[in-house]
Structure 1
Amino acid sequence: MKSALFLLLASTTLAGATVALAETADTAPAAATAAKPELGAFGFDEAGMNRAAKPGDDFYEYANGAWAKATPIPSDRSNYGMFTRLDDVSRARTREILDAVKDDRTSKIGNAYAGFLDEAAIEAKGLGPIKPWLDQIKGVKTRAEYARLAGQADRNGVGGPVGAFIGQDDKSPENYALTMFQSGLGMPDRDYYLSTDKKLADTRAAYLAHLQKVLTLAGEPNAAARAQALLAFETEIAKVHWTKIDSRDATKTYNKMTVAELVRDAPGFDFAAYFHAIGAHVDSLIVAQPSAIKGTAAIVANADLAVLKDAMLVRTLDGYSDYLPKAFSDEAFAFYGTTLSGTPQIEPRWKRGVSFVTRALSDEVSQLYVQRYFPPETKAAADTLVKNVIAAMDKRIQGLVWMAPETKVKARAKLAAFKPKIGYPDKWRDFAGLEIKRDDALGNAIRSANFEHDYNVGKLGKPIYRWEWGMTPMEVNAYANFSMNEIVFPAAILQPPFFDPHADPAVNYGGIGAVIGHEISHHFDDQGSKYDATGTLTDWWTADDVKKFNALTAQLVAQYDAYEPLPGEHVKGQLTLGENIADLAGLTVAHEAYKASLGGKPAPVIDGFTGDQRFYLGWAQVWRRNYREANLRQRLLTDPHSPSAQRAWVVRNLDPWYGAYNPDASAKLYLSQDKRVRIW
């Protein structure tokens, strides 16, 4: 269980190899190296194609159709694709590390893992270990006590009516600041409470049943009526919540105020008691969604205290269900796993144990992982590729026709100031202060949440931890951190199909090269572009730059709004705009880097595919993914990333793709020159 007061990066993620790349920008190209790539003859799985499909009608289906048809989703997954495939590899490797020390009583990670796996002990203890905390909740008599307990719950990793985190101050990135954000919902988004859509109405009914079941399992009387009251309370909170589109706007969500101003503007919740309980002794803070915080405070002020306590009770039992008797973890999974995501079966205990230990003792596990699976030459290979793609981005900026010359100078300076982080951190955190007991799974989880919380609160007033990462090396993902002006690529993503040292360079550039370009370009997307070379949220573009940029991004919004992955349910072009810009720009820049790597020579034809054809196949391959319907629906409502097929379709905006595949003007993906969106 991770504390709710965690380091939230002003960033955006991708999702979500062992030797040097075949060549750099200054060397001649090579075809597939002598050693065989992991996938297919040149790094692409040709058996997974649907050659009956026309690339111009559906490039995703053409590149991945046979794979999609032949690949079932595992019973413990809500979706399955290249990211989940590598996650399976990563967790299996981590399991080997943990299994090797699980019987060593002197090993902190071994004791944490063994304690989590001991289901018999957890079952035998029942609710005994968590009873003192539940009694605290039930014993609350006043709203001031409730606010203090909400702060303590936050420290324990249990969400309350508001949330908070410690991160860089976007307008003063050399300083840490406390940021408060909207919270209080048990379902993923306000739409789950407010939409009249039948599927979401059915989900609400299932959630009501879930609330009743959790209260019943806890031995609480009048569970049905209390569940109804709790759902009604959360529905009122949902009404004041900002949409996810507004909540991703860096400008709208930067609202700095004093604590006194917050107390004045949002009466009804004892913020002073809450801040004291979370240990954040501050005079000012940033409020992400002021109207939502004000509205929630008013709702809390008028709510029955019994309902407020029930909300905390249910959040606790759901949040810590994996450390409680099986009936609680089964019930939590039945709603959050099966109803919300369509997953039939809960993950095996060992998988959940790997996830817990990796969260609780991240750097302890990470050090062992990189020693085994990420040798120094991999870091060097990624460094080279990053430099090539950054150079291509610099060239693209210089050639822009819509950006003012003075803004280009600043944009190039920002690019030159980038700090790439490859594989794993330069410095490791110390977990010596975290107490782990072999016979106390729940206590380990709560102490871990407390430890993480206190670590982050302890940053206030200190210099920025620039060495710190927001992901472990085992995570199959990547991210851009705007305030740090950095791009980060964990070790686990530097594997096939993203990167294979024995694959054709075109496939590697279309895979990991485009991922690198994606993260670089995030710093210039609709939100990242608001941060300058120092990581400061500021206006550094001319008004004309902004006008022209917004005209281009509006075209991309309209393009994605038109996609309908489920009947009647469309991609939200505004919600997914940042990721769509990054896909478009990243692929553009990676292709330029690939062309530069050829040194002026033509790419070889391999298995009948030209270099450009292989490049775009490399891109499509990394997005192979099958979804369960419930999971896809949830993503369409809440995920800033477009579904995989639509991510592959971004190629329809790229002139070289038309040259590679020559789609007919009547093809479904075909866009005339004037309709193709070109930004970076």
Structure 2
Amino acid sequence: MKRHLLSALTLGLLGGVCGFANAADKAPAGKAASGIAIEYIDPSVRAQDDFFVHTNGKWLATTEIPADKSSWGAFHKLHEDTQPQLRKIIEDAAASAKDADQQRIGDFYASFMDEARVEQLGVTPVKGNLAKIAAIGDKKALPQLFAEFNRYGVTAPINLTIHQDNKDSTKYVVDFFQDGLGLPDRDYYLKKDDAKLAEALAKYEIHVTKMLTLAGDANAAANAKAIVAFETDIAKIQWSKVELRDPVKAYNKYDIAKVGELMPGFDWNAYLAATGVQGKATYVIVSQPTYFQALDKVLADTPLETLKAYAQWQVIHDAAPYLSKAFVDENFAFYGTTLSGATENRPRWKRAVSATEGALGEAIGKVYVQQHFPAEYKARMEVLVKNLLTAFRQSIDTLDWMTPATKKEARTKLAKFTTKIGYPNKWRDYSALTVKRDDLLGNMQRASEFNYNKEMNKLGKPIDRDEWLMTPQTVNAYYNPEMNEIVFPASILQPPFFDPKADDAVNYGAIGGVIGHEISHGFDDQGAQYDGDGNLRDWWSPADHKNFKAKTSQLVAQYGAYSPLPGYQVNGELTLGENIGDNSGLAVAHKAYKLSLKGKKAPVIDGLTGDQRFYMGWAQVWRMKMREPAQIVQIKTDPHAPGQFRANGTMRNQPGFYEAFKVKSNDKMYLPPKERVIIW
């Protein structure tokens, strides 16, 4: 487990054209703003029957998902709002660079926007790699090939990452894990009785055929069939998304000299040397050892020509968004339309902004925060976080299911939390990254290699506790259990998450709920397995485990009963950590809101009490619509539940919600007290 991400943004298809109204901007002079988009409330639906639709109903009824988006909601709107801001920063750099980083930013963007040159080159940028793969004479070349793919970000059956050792948070470690599929999840290959997944698999084979044909493969159809069969064999041996959530099961330490015993037919020494790991580590972690053991046989049984075709396909797939229009269009037709439901590709400038951000995110972020993140926002967030931590500490003290010794450990862990708000204390050094104004694909590959080398160079060095895993302009937040830190980038600190003009109630329900969500990740079913120093250590008593399991099992059952699409249920086990985060985070945020009032009664604004505004603040954050194909991808791969259940499912367990809206036993939102899950 590397980190928790708050939002459910999938497939990189964010943004659009329809937006939230900011009630604060429309409040009459002298009147406090509620921060609630009251124009979207649907009074025909009772809050006590469907709180999500009551709060968001008119928005849901009138909003169309933009043609170039697979989903649309609060996260997407904020992401979209930042795009013109980032475009100006980048285009200013392209027009008149003030330093070396701005020159890189401008040149990178210009290489993407030079469509005439990209068209002129056609498939030429990948011809060399395709020819190199075609010339492979035996399987002894696979370790070197897979290592090169890892370096340049091309999909391969073996992948690696560098992170803190889960059982020694003072050291960086190499972690090898399963990979290699072109579809979002193994279920797309294995669930033959699911008509929609089977259809996607069939269309995937057609897509691979078309892409190979565009690249000049005269045997494209046969190779595509063989590639899909090979990926299906990989899917059969992979761990499920639920199994991947277990950090103890995934911690398998191997002496570097013995890791090759997992795959006797694969030259691990050659692979380790080619990756750069050899000589930098004495041991490694293998997240899914049974996968690697089985992969040895799969590689042995698969004909060399199939493995070569698979490698060529992955090179083409990785490069497709940066090649000529024929490749871009076919790539979007499958991944954008078939799998996500979007009917139009994003404008080229937005794709160029995303690519440039991916390569030089912190260099852009440095300018972004100077222009768009007032210092007072950070100051107000620091107060909110302080109040949330206080409320969480009080919650620990009053728990009726946790033993005193474990409560003491929990308080110790909470006291060691690190909070990062807005932007990093130090900015990333991009001086080793070469960018050329006329070489788009080369820039993408060099950016991947730059990031790879940055990670590899961590081995043997002290932990960099100033590092951020997101850029300031990212609309998201995260908890990192290995650092025991909560991180809130600048871009999420905007309405409807954080409204500096609004009354505190909505801010505690929205960004306060987000803060509480991230704090709670330190104590969810995964995060609670790490101590305050970031080490994987069991600090719970058997009684605590039993009581916690009883509560979380209830939560699994609750969410497993939700169905966003006919025939598709939310996976209660896959989404458990995020559901705990929502459940506990909102409960703690409500306590913090009460603390902030200091005994005073909250005013009524827009006809809503403070508590009502608090809960509506949470519900409008999860305002979202999603196309069916993208919804299926989310259900299969995303640890977050769909937005309507993050609102309603969380609310049904909150005692304060019942009081605020006078929910009775005959209301649809009602859960009997014994069925309500209250954890932290």
* TM > 0.5 fold call: yes
Q: 1:312 to 1:32 in 2, by over 3 A?
A: closer
Residue of structure 1 equivalent to 2:184: 188
- The answer to whether the Cα contact below 8 Å between 1:10 and 1:481 also exists between their aligned partners in 2 is yes
SS of corresponding position for 1:341: coil
Following superposition, the deviation at residue 582 of structure 1 comes to 0.3
Q: Distance in 2 between matches of 1:347 and 1:356?
A: 12
1:411 aligns with 2:410: yes
Residue of structure 1 equivalent to 2:596: 597
Cα root mean square deviation, aligned: 1.6
- The answer to whether the Cα contact below 8 Å between 1:40 and 1:46 also exists between their aligned partners in 2 is no
With normalisation by structure 1, the TM-score equals 0.95
Counterpart amino acid of 1:251?
A: V
Q: 1:198 to 1:394 in 2, by over 3 A?
A: same
Following superposition, the deviation at residue 170 of structure 1 comes to 0.4
Residue of structure 2 equivalent to 1:207: 204
Residue of structure 2 equivalent to 1:365: 364
1:95 aligns with 2:62: no
Residue of structure 1 equivalent to 2:284: 285
Following superposition, the deviation at residue 607 of structure 1 comes to 1.9
Give runs of aligned pairs for residues 664-679 of structure 1, distance below 5 A. Answer: 664-679=664-679
With a CA cutoff of 8 Å and minimum separation of 6, indicate the structure with the bigger relative contact order: 1
SS of corresponding position for 1:68: helix
Following superposition, the deviation at residue 313 of structure 1 comes to 1.2
Residue of structure 1 equivalent to 2:7: 15
Give runs of aligned pairs for residues 324-363 of structure 1, distance below 5 A. Answer: 324-363=323-362
Counterpart amino acid of 2:6?
A: L
Residue of structure 2 equivalent to 1:55: 47
Q: Deviations over 1:98-145 (max 9, x none)?
A: 111223477111111011111110110122222222221112112221
Residue of structure 2 equivalent to 1:258: 255
Q: 1:233 to 1:36 in 2, by over 3 A?
A: farther
Counterpart amino acid of 1:56?
A: Q
Following superposition, the deviation at residue 33 of structure 1 comes to 11
Q: Deviations over 1:360-410 (max 9, x none)?
A: 112211111111011222111111110010000000001001111111111
SS of corresponding position for 2:482: coil
Q: Distance in 1 between matches of 2:338 and 2:26?
A: 49
Gaps in structure 2 of 5+ consecutive residues: 9-22
Following superposition, the deviation at residue 543 of structure 1 comes to 1.0
Give runs of aligned pairs for residues 99-110 of structure 1, distance below 5 A. Answer: 99-104=91-96, 107-110=103-106
SS of corresponding position for 1:489: strand
1:152 aligns with 2:151: no
Counterpart amino acid of 2:71?
A: N
Q: Distance in 1 between matches of 2:504 and 2:124?
A: 58
Following superposition, the deviation at residue 317 of structure 1 comes to 1.2
Q: Distance in 2 between matches of 1:112 and 1:559?
A: 48
SS of corresponding position for 2:339: helix
Q: Distance in 1 between matches of 2:2 and 2:642?
A: 23
Q: Deviations over 1:267-311 (max 9, x none)?
A: 332222222111112332111111112112221122111111211
Counterpart amino acid of 1:137?
A: I
- The answer to whether the Cα contact below 8 Å between 1:370 and 1:424 also exists between their aligned partners in 2 is yes
Match of 1:80 among 67, 72, 87: 72
- The answer to whether the Cα contact below 8 Å between 1:32 and 1:504 also exists between their aligned partners in 2 is no
1:138 aligns with 2:134: yes
SS of corresponding position for 1:155: helix
SS of corresponding position for 2:205: helix
Q: Distance in 2 between matches of 1:318 and 1:661?
A: 52
SS of corresponding position for 1:343: coil
Residue of structure 2 equivalent to 1:236: 233
Q: Distance in 1 between matches of 2:222 and 2:248?
A: 42
Match of 2:224 among 224, 227, 237: 227
Q: Distance in 1 between matches of 2:547 and 2:569?
A: 26
Residue of structure 2 equivalent to 1:615: 614
- The answer to whether the Cα contact below 8 Å between 2:624 and 2:643 also exists between their aligned partners in 1 is yes
SS of corresponding position for 1:285: strand
1:579 aligns with 2:571: no
1:547 aligns with 2:546: yes
- The answer to whether the Cα contact below 8 Å between 2:126 and 2:315 also exists between their aligned partners in 1 is no
- The answer to whether the Cα contact below 8 Å between 1:575 and 1:640 also exists between their aligned partners in 2 is yes
Following superposition, the deviation at residue 259 of structure 1 comes to 2.9
Residue of structure 2 equivalent to 1:28: none
Following superposition, the deviation at residue 36 of structure 1 comes to 6.7
- The answer to whether the Cα contact below 8 Å between 2:126 and 2:319 also exists between their aligned partners in 1 is no
- The answer to whether the Cα contact below 8 Å between 1:267 and 1:298 also exists between their aligned partners in 2 is no
1:46 aligns with 2:45: no
- The answer to whether the Cα contact below 8 Å between 1:90 and 1:475 also exists between their aligned partners in 2 is no
Q: 1:665 to 1:353 in 2, by over 3 A?
A: same
Following superposition, the deviation at residue 679 of structure 1 comes to 0.7
Q: Percent identity?
A: 49
